[in-house]
């Protein structure tokens, strides 16, 4: 805990990786559990990935402006 910027960067990288993995495995999960077609799951995955990217950018930008200004 001696270097807070290193911990912040590490947690950020961990969070980005965790979200990326969750978004990748959403489509096979929907197909296996809910028995939806591949095209329906793919459309959900494309929309989900795009929406989450925009939302995460806006939220993280707002938080970083609040914390580091």
User: What digits encode the pLDDT tens for the residues 7-56?
Assistant: 888 998 998 898 888 878 888 888 999 999 988 988 888 888 888 888 88
Residue 5 tokens, joined = 């910027």
pLDDT class for 2, splitting at 50, 70, 90? Answer: confident
| The pLDDT of residue 34 | 92
At 62, is the pLDDT very low, low, confident or very high (cuts 50, 70, 90)? very high
Task: Please give the model's pTM, rounded to 2 decimal places.
Answer: 0.57
DSSP 8-state code for residue 25 = T
Residue partners of 23: CB distance under 8 A and separation at least 6: 45, 48, 49, 52
Q: According to the model, what pLDDT value does residue 1 have?
A: 67
């Amino acid at each position: 805990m001696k270097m807070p910027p290193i911990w912040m960067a590490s947690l950020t990288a961990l969070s980005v990786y965790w979200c990326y993995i969750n978004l990748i495995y959403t489509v096979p999960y929907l197909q296996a559990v809910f028995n939806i077609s591949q095209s329906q799951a793919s459309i959900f995955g494309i929309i989900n990935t795009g929406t989450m990217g925009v939302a995460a950018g806006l939220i993280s930008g707002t938080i970083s402006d609040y914390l580091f200004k």
